[in-house]
Structure formats: C-alpha cells, structure tokens
Amino acid sequence: MEKISVIGMGSWGTTLAILLAEKGNSVIGWEWIKERAYKMQKTRENPFFLKGCPFPENLEVTNDLLYAAAKSNVIVLAVPSHVVRKIVRQSKDELHEKNIVNVAKGIEIETMLRMSEVIHDEAGIPFEKITTLSGPTHSEEVSKKLPATIVAASVSETYAKSIQHLFMTNYFRVYTSTDIIGVELGGSLKNVIAIGAGISDGMCMGDNTKAALITRGLREITRLGIACGANPHTFSGISGIGDLIVTCDSLHSRNRYVGNRLAKGFSLDEILSSMEMIAEGVNTTKSAYQLSHEMNVEMPITDHIHQILFEGLSPQEGVITLMTRSPKSEDEF
C-alpha cells in the first residue's frame, strides 16, 4: 500500500482520494481553503463538491500544502490547470524523488506547455516520473461506482503500469499509454469543442448538428495533435473521442454548460461568476487558438469559439459563418 497525497479536493480530487483510500492506501487530501478543510475534517465528507460520499478512516484532510507534499511518495495533482505551476512552485522542494500523477486538463496560456511539461519545467521532475490520468470520468458517476475507463499516460511504460495498478478497481478500469502528448491534448482540447456543443444545445439545433460538431471537432484536435508529435490513433481512443463524446453530451459537463448559457444570451462574465467549479475550456480556448496559429494548423471550430468567447461574435453569427465556409472535401479543413 502507498502513501498518497491528493493536492486539490474539488469533486474529482475528492473522488480519487476516496477511491485510493478504499483500496487501503494511506491518503492525505489537501484543500486550499482553511475553513473548507476544517469542515471536511469535521463532517468526514466533502459537503461542497461531493456531498453524500463519506471519507474512509484512512483519508486525512489538511490545509498544509508542504505537509501533504512531504508525507507521501505519490502526489496526485488535482488542481485546475491554470494553478498547476503555482502549486508545484510552492511545493517543489518536497516533490523531488516523488511520483507525480496529473489529472488537470489544460494548456498553459503563457507558455503553450502541457501539464506534464509545466511540472517538469517548474520543478525539474523527470518526465519518467510523471503520468497523466485522462478520460471520460465525471466525478458525479465515478463516486457512485458506475463503471468508467481512463488512460494512464507516461513516457515510461513501467511507470504508467504502476499507476494503472494503483488506481484500478472493479468499477474504474485504467488503460496505459506512452503517448502522453496525445492523451493530454485530447483531454484539454475536447473542452473547447464541448463549449460549442453547449451552444448547439442552447440553440436547440438537434442531434445532426451535434454529431457534425463532434466529428469535425475531433478532426481539428487530431490535426493539432499530429503537429505537436502525438500518435493520431490516440484520438480515436478513450482519452480522445471517448472524453470528447461525454463532455459534449453530458449534463455534468461544465464546459457544455458554459456554451449553453452563452446561447441563451448570458455574458461570459455572468456565467463564470455563477459557477463554483472551473470550466477549463474557457482558458483552453485561448491557448488552443494561440497554439494552432503558432503551429499553422487550421481549426475553424476553435477559431469561432474563440471569437464568441472573447471577440464579441454572437453564437448565431458563428454558426452561419461556419456553415457558409467555402466548399471542401471531407479530408480538408
């Protein structure tokens, strides 16, 4: 059994902390807000993001980041992607020689780095000691022990297999991959397309529209992934099309919710201020837009989502301009 610290006790971090503790591991969960940490310690559950899921006895909650990082040999980073660097910077002296598991989905706006690259860049941790867990795994369902699958990706197949063994249960099936580029990009970029799916649903456009959006969105993700060095087959797997489908179609999806509210006429500021949890797709739209232009990869859906979010384009206008682009072969952009 391992000593594991889960850094970030949102809904997904809490779900994974409970899963790992129920497997008999000694688990510490770090919550950044002191009052929330105290409440979790007292009630033995997370009443803020995962009410009704009691903590096992071997799950401890703390507000002390350095304590959590120092006490365990496996560190699960379950904070939003835009604060991964900050958290790693604050705790990097305690992270050396540790095994790092990242579950954040995003691309850093300032550097265009994926999360494993951010961790390596900030703390000097070898890529062989970093894995990313990504797939179609809403915490609302995994916490109820409904069957789900996910991918553990690392440049080290040996390390990926060790993380596979650490997390796998009879309801949580973990596959391995050495294509961490593809797995991280698939998990990040699908959130952009999910905002588009929410817009489609909010405008009552129907199943045909959403099927087209998902299919063409996957082509965009794959093109950018190939340009970045990913294996194209990764995007037809669990962390690619699997995660894309669930995020575009599920009522649990925060990114789909953002798009849905945009289509109803709410501003982005109004939507985000009303949400307790983070919709990663908003920031990822910025980074995906920048990265695609730097790599000279045409991504028309992503471009239009960027215009809707940040440039004042209305969802209605966005649909028309997408649909009236010049005729092309399906193999084209």
**Could you list the active site residues?**
190
d(CA 57, CA 34): 20
Compute and round to an integer the Cα radius of gyration of the chain. Answer: 19
Alpha carbon distance 323, 78 (integer Å): 38
Separation of alpha carbons 260 and 85, rounded Å: 30
Distance CA 314, CA 63 (A): 42
| Secondary structure E strands in the chain | 3-7, 26-30, 59-62, 74-77, 99-102, 130-134, 148-153, 172-177
Which residues, including other chains, have CB under 8 Å from residue 96's CB and lie 6 or more apart?
123, 124, 125
- Cβ neighbours of residue 250 under 8 Å, at least 6 residues apart? 138, 256
- Neighbouring C-beta atoms of residue 115, cutoff 10 Å: 27
Structure tokens at 298: 């045409």
Q: Which residue do the tokens 């000694």 mark?
A: 26
